[in-house]
Amino acid sequence: MGGSAAAGKSVDGGGRAAPRVPVPEARPFLDTFRANLKETFFPDDPFRAVVRERGFARRAAAALRYFFPFLEWAPAYRLGTFKSDLIAGITIASLAIPQGISYAKLANLPPILGLYSSFVPPLVYAMMGSSKDLAVGTVAVASLLIASMLGAEVSATENPALYLHLAFTATFFAGVIQASLGILRLGFIVDFLSHAAIVGFMGGAATVVCLQQLKGMLGLEHFTTSTDLVSVMRSVFSQTHQWRWESVVLGCGFLFFLLVTRFFSKRQPRFFWVSAAAPLTSVILGSLLVYFTHAENHGVQIIGNLKKGLNPISVTNLQFTPPYMMLALKTGLITGVIALAEGIAVGRSFAMFKNYHIDGNKEMIAIGTMNILGSFTSCYLTTGPFSRSAVNYNAGCKTAMSNVIMSLAVMVTLLFLTPLFHYTPLVVLSAIIMSAMLGLIDFPAAVHLWHVDKVDFCVCAGAYLGVVFGSVEMGLVVAVAISVLRVLLFVARPRTTVLGNVPDTNIYRRMDQYTTARTVPGVLVLRVDSPIYFANSGYLRERFTRWIDEDDERTSAKGETGVQYVVLDMGAVGSIDTSGTSMLDELKKTLDRRGIQIVLANPGSEIMKKLESSKVLELIGHEWIFPTVGEAVAECDFVLHSHKPGMVADGASHENMV
């Protein structure tokens, strides 16, 4: 068993090479504090490139390159790259124009805003963003959220100017919040929206958005402002006599067309452009159809006039006065965080495919700035939507230049082509939204969650049901609450296991996992799998006692000797607080009364530091702390078999034992 066991004193000078567990030197508080702060907020050491440079000018240039990544790739930009970006840019523009108009309608905003929002923000992102694949644009979920949150207090039909101004203000706040999160290095807050939560949330939002499209598809004039399933169904079925068959036929036809092209492109990735061009094709076909059949007089609603010209300045429209500012702030906060989560996740996914690195906090600053500047130029909330970025990636984009191309294409549209959209039927826009949304309902992902992790499935289902039956915010709250509860429960009820010796080794492993592992008579080896904190110290104290009682019962039934040593494997205890040290203190005293010696194995440096400063180390005795479980058990075994009586505690203690 790993060499002969030495007596319970110092073995430093002996023949064994294994060191005893060292207590780290005390470091000044401020040093530790600074190191922790750095690891919490600057884990990726973002300014390495800047600090490395010498001289002010070189550092300033490096800092500029840090905040404006295009300075890095633009000088080396080649014609070959441009060709790829041109194709990708035009492809995403053909998707951006109809989608932009559709999502603006979803947000109850004038359709032209969808085009404005595809003009300025992509230019800003192209300069500041570090992703090569992200295609900037508005997204359905955020659009719906804006409609439902602002719409709850201000009617878009009765007071369109105020509603519009509040949408700009919310976008401004969303941008400020996004940029601040990046500047304050709080990007990890977005991590608390777990993958499972996002799957459920996106699925729920897609369901809700599809339900909203029933208005357009059925050609209804009046519709509920609520988003939950029950309200929508009641609204739809209370006015069955208002359904327009022309609208239904047109809508279903286009939806079928869009779904078929998407299915085809998925099967044949080479023909990605088929599904990418399908929305624009639908818009053109739909508009021509309406123009020639005058369907607008037969219950098919159309977009109507779109203003020509570029984005008007809207900075003077921002509302910073009390009655509505809080509403805009709240809307900005929620939509901003959700949009950010999508943008960051999309950027990261594609960066992983192409094996380059994305700095989350820098991305937040880029997305935030693009929304702040957007809110000054009549744009509403934009981010990096998954569908558009995927098309961009498939179309072979090489740099953020594809965003510039898209932006220029939209500019041309704004300057010259808006009258062409006059006859575009709304039902086509609904079909475009629905076909995009159906792709967001990721049923296989939910099945995967169920197979791998039931709690994650609960998070996902909670988010989905919360969104569909409650509201988008409720879905978010449910998902985050379950996720956080899981973390807390992990700490509050940590797993404790008995370790056994793997035969012919000095390795100790969990007995429920390694069936060959055997216990050592008289020694109980326990392992804790979480930090020892206030939330579990009471539980752990009772659980340890129960393990000992159970072992005593078992051995006394067999007539064997009971537990005389409890070895705690601290290898997986990452941290300990004062409740934890008090618990060990109490445990030591309780076990002393029962004549049981407590032994610690493999505590980490932080644990050793805490044990020393709380005097628990002194109480247990440094000689009872070992770097490995093997050595700890060898020592116990040695003492147990050499001078058995009177070795433990004070000799009288054996009387208390079962």
Enumerate residues 594-623 that contact a second copy by CB under 8 A: 602, 604-606, 608, 610, 613-614
Contact characters 621-640, a second copy, x per CB under 8 A: ------xx------------
What CA–CA distances, in Å, run from 426 to 98, 216, 222?
11, 6, 15
Member of 124, 146, 196, 436 binding a second copy (CB under 8 A): 196
Query: How many Cβ atoms from other residues are within 10 Å of residue 348's Cβ?
Result: 15
| 40 is a site residue for a second copy (CB under 8 A) | yes
Instruction: Choose among 350, 419, 477, 377: nearest CA to 88.
Output: 350
| 326 is a site residue for a second copy (CB under 8 A) | no
| 38 is a site residue for a second copy (CB under 8 A) | no
What CA–CA distances, in Å, run from 244 to 219, 248, 249, 284, 299?
6, 6, 9, 22, 6
| 452 is a site residue for a second copy (CB under 8 A) | yes
Token reading at 348? 């990261």
Token reading at 278? 């399908």
Helices assigned H by DSSP within 219-271: 229-237, 245-267
Considering only the stretches 176-184, 373-381, 421-429, 501-509, report the one whose residues sit in contact with a second copy under the rule CB under 8 A: 501-509
229 CB-near residues (< 8 Å, 6+ apart): 207, 208, 211, 468, 469
Member of 52, 234, 298, 454 binding a second copy (CB under 8 A): 454
| Closest separation in Å from C-beta 177 to a second copy | 20
| Closest separation in Å from C-beta 187 to a second copy | 9
Contact 658, 552 (CB under 8 A): yes
| 159 is a site residue for a second copy (CB under 8 A) | no
Place of tokens 């039927």: 425
Member of 72, 512, 560, 618 binding a second copy (CB under 8 A): 512
Residue with smaller CB distance to a second copy, 306 or 367: 367
Instruction: Choose among 514, 523, 515, 513: nearest CA to 632.
Output: 523
| 646 is a site residue for a second copy (CB under 8 A) | no
Residue with smaller CB distance to a second copy, 221 or 512: 512
Kind of pairing between the strands at 508-510 and 496-501: antiparallel
Kind of pairing between the strands at 523-528 and 625-626: unpaired
437 CB-near residues (< 8 Å, 6+ apart): 140, 206, 207, 209, 210, 213
| 153 is a site residue for a second copy (CB under 8 A) | no
Angle at 445 between CA 440 and CA 448, to 5 degrees: 170
| Closest separation in Å from C-beta 630 to a second copy | 9
| Closest separation in Å from C-beta 485 to a second copy | 11
Member of 19, 28, 322, 559 binding a second copy (CB under 8 A): 19
| Closest separation in Å from C-beta 20 to a second copy | 10
| Closest separation in Å from C-beta 529 to a second copy | 3
Member of 502, 619, 649, 657 binding a second copy (CB under 8 A): 502
Considering only the stretches 83-91, 292-300, 423-431, 491-499, report the one whose residues sit in contact with a second copy under the rule CB under 8 A: 491-499
| Closest separation in Å from C-beta 425 to a second copy | 41
| 505 is a site residue for a second copy (CB under 8 A) | yes
**DSSP strands (E only) in 470-628:** 496-501, 508-510, 523-528, 565-569, 597-601, 625-626
Considering only the stretches 188-196, 238-246, 322-330, 414-422, report the one whose residues sit in contact with a second copy under the rule CB under 8 A: 188-196
Token reading at 126? 């192209």
Member of 254, 533, 544, 626 binding a second copy (CB under 8 A): 533
Q: Exposed (0-12), middle (13-18) or buried (19+): which is 488, by Cβ within 10 Å?
A: exposed
| 453 is a site residue for a second copy (CB under 8 A) | yes
List binders of a second copy among 559-578 (CB under 8 A): 571-575, 577-578
Residue with smaller CB distance to a second copy, 197 or 372: 197
Token reading at 384? 């990096």
Q: What is the rounded CA–CA span in Å between residue 408 and residue 394?
A: 20
532 CB-near residues (< 8 Å, 6+ apart): 540, 573, 575, 576, 577, 579, 580, 583, 584
| 535 is a site residue for a second copy (CB under 8 A) | yes
List binders of a second copy among 247-306 (CB under 8 A): none
Considering only the stretches 106-114, 296-304, 528-536, 554-562, report the one whose residues sit in contact with a second copy under the rule CB under 8 A: 528-536
| 197 is a site residue for a second copy (CB under 8 A) | yes
Residue with smaller CB distance to a second copy, 120 or 482: 482
| 511 is a site residue for a second copy (CB under 8 A) | no
Residue with smaller CB distance to a second copy, 221 or 542: 542
Token reading at 180? 């601040």
| 590 is a site residue for a second copy (CB under 8 A) | yes
| Closest separation in Å from C-beta 495 to a second copy | 6
| Closest separation in Å from C-beta 578 to a second copy | 5
Q: What is the rounded CA–CA span in Å between residue 132 and residue 357?
A: 10
Instruction: Choose among 182, 73, 57, 4: nearest CA to 635.
Output: 4
| 582 is a site residue for a second copy (CB under 8 A) | yes
Contact characters 349-388, a second copy, x per CB under 8 A: ---x--x-x--x----------------------------
18-52 as b/e, with b when 16 or more CB fall inside 10 Å?
A: eeebebeeeeeeeeeeeeeeeeeeeeeeeeeebee
| 510 is a site residue for a second copy (CB under 8 A) | yes
- Type of residue numbered 531: P
| Closest separation in Å from C-beta 136 to a second copy | 22
List binders of a second copy among 45-84 (CB under 8 A): 45
Residue with smaller CB distance to a second copy, 28 or 75: 28
Helix (H) or strand (E) holding 484: helix 472-492
The count of residues interacting with a second copy (CB under 8 A) is 95
Member of 65, 330, 422, 448 binding a second copy (CB under 8 A): 448
Member of 12, 504, 650, 655 binding a second copy (CB under 8 A): 504
| 492 is a site residue for a second copy (CB under 8 A) | yes
Dihedral sign (CA 526, 532, 536, 538): positive
